[in-house]
Amino acid sequence: MCTCINFKTKDNYFGRNLDLEYRFNEKVVITPRNYEFKLKNGATINTKHSIIGMATVIENYPLYAEATNEKGLSMSGLYFPGNAHFFDEDNSKLNLAPYELIPYFLGLYSTVSEIRDIISNLLNITNISFATNLPVTDLHWMISDENECIVIEQIKDGLKVYDNPIGVLTNNPPFNYHLTNINNYSNLTPHNEKNGFSDKINLKQYGQGMGAIGLPGDTSPASRFVRAAFNMLNSICNDDEKSSVTQFFHILDSVAIVQGTTITKEEKYDITTYSCCINTNKGIYYYKTYTNNQITAIKMTEKEKNKKELSIYNLVEEQQIKYVN
């Protein structure tokens, strides 16, 4: 359960809600330039570009949930259970394990256009886990820069690459369903609408927002997709940094999951564990957690871009309250 959006004002912003019933020791991690990644296919890469995002670090390897590189290319993995299908290695393909996609593409490339053909024609996402105690997670991915956005899904029929004109991704069903389903809501509007029911009766709107009656409010992936798209595409805000970041988090808040409202089959509470917003032009990672509403910012500085090792920042989890008297 997650929602990812790409939002543009003067700068470009990329981020997501991470919805889970557990935590994964996540931290904000900056990977410097020329950092070595050993791939499961036997190859080794050294990053051309530094990367900032949320990750679990195991043996100096950042397992990114989402990230942006210094060129503004961004990528996020979202849960895609039952539909994701990963294959055995194919010697004619570029074989990457699911957790390797973000460091590989963000470490080596700058734009969506550079990687589109590679993904479409060469990529094979393999069923190889990082470690025996870390099973492969069913994922699909949204990738964007300030000009393009795509979704990649590998299912039993093979790898699918979709243009994403909306700039939103959630979870199941596959992305082509979401692109079709959103047409069911084409009548919604942020405006006050005239009576279209019948000219034989006098119907009046008795409150603001009635033009959007029918906008789904539940936490299912299809409903979150429609709600996030409606709120983002109708969003109006100033284009300065504080206004843009504030608006971005308001959009994510509209699809956030409150503890107790979504219970898994295992009787655990699915919640929005954290929300993040990355200024992809400036390399600034903003986040807040379920237990701390205050926005925290971490910059990808030139010093960190050129370090030899990872820069790792623990999350500020305790609620920050400003008392004024």
pLDDT tens digits along 224-267: 999 999 999 999 999 999 999 999 999 999 999 999 999 999 99
Cβ 297 vs Cβ 276: under 8 Å = no
Active-site residue, from 2, 4, 149, 277:
2
Strand partners, 163: 150
Which backbone phi and psi does 181 adopt, to 5 degrees? Answer: -60, -35
- Residue 122: the pLDDT is 97
243: tokens are 């206004």
pLDDT tens digits along 49-108: 999 999 999 999 999 999 999 999 999 999 999 999 999 999 999 999 999 999 999 999
Rounded distance between C-alpha atoms, residue 64 and residue 78, angstroms? 11
258 CB neighbour count, 10 Å cutoff: 12
Q: Is 2 a catalytic residue?
A: yes
Backbone angles phi, psi at 155, to 5 degrees: -115, -175
Domains recognised in the chain with CATH numbers: 2-184+218-313 (3.60.60.10)
Average pLDDT, the chain: 96
Rounded to two decimals, what is the model's pTM?
0.95
Residue 162, C-beta contacts closer than 8 angstroms, at least 6 positions apart: 150, 151, 152, 153, 175, 176, 179
